[in-house]
Amino acid sequence: MKRIHQINVVALGLTTVVYIIPYFGMLLQIPLAIIQLIIASIITSKYKTQLDNKHRAMLKKYWLMVLTAFILIVALCIGAAIAKNYDFKYSNNLFMILPGIIICSVLFVFPMFIAFYSGYTTFSITKYLLIKR
């Protein structure tokens, strides 16, 4: 479990540092998400029976946040497909700025919050399992 947490920390740290150049940080979020989903799947399948209620609840919250992010991203893609047929030239500036803020939040900010929560969760679970031994 300690190795799993180390992999998570390295991937999260690398993504955070690379966000100095936002474009590359955004691109690195994709492999980070894949790594963290694999880690969460391993923890859920292999270590769930060894966890107490607090850590099981943390794991459930993580999966709920992942599901929520997935639903929001799918809804955003559907909304973008619908908006493609809309004529925006008569819209006011707020109508143009607000969707950009929502898109950035859903695609980049919210997933990074989930990534940091994943880091905290793996840290807490690793600490718990090491103390339990």
pTM of the model: 0.85
Domains of the chain, by residue range, sit at: 2-132
SS3 labels along 57-82 = HHHHHHHHHHHHHHHHHHHHHHHHHH
Q: Is 19 helix (H, G, I), strand (E, B) or coil?
A: coil
User: Which whole number is the average pLDDT over 15-32?
Assistant: 94
Cβ neighbourhood burial of 115 (10 Å; 0-12, 13-18, 19+): buried
Q: What is the pLDDT of residue 35?
A: 97
Write the pLDDT tens digit of every residue in 35-77. 999 999 999 999 999 999 999 999 999 999 999 999 988 888 8
User: What is the percent of the chain where pLDDT is above 90?
Assistant: 66
Q: What is the pLDDT of residue 87?
A: 61
In angstroms, how far apart are the furthest CA atoms of the chain? 65
Residue in the structure block whose two tokens are 């047929």: 85
DSSP string, 84-128: TTS--TTS-HHHHHHHHHHHHIIIIIHHHHHHHHHHHHHHHHHHH
Check residues 5 and 101 and name the one with the higher pLDDT. Answer: 5
Q: Is the pLDDT of residue 102 over 90?
A: no
- From residue 29, how far is each of 1, 106, 111 by CA, in Å? 23, 13, 8
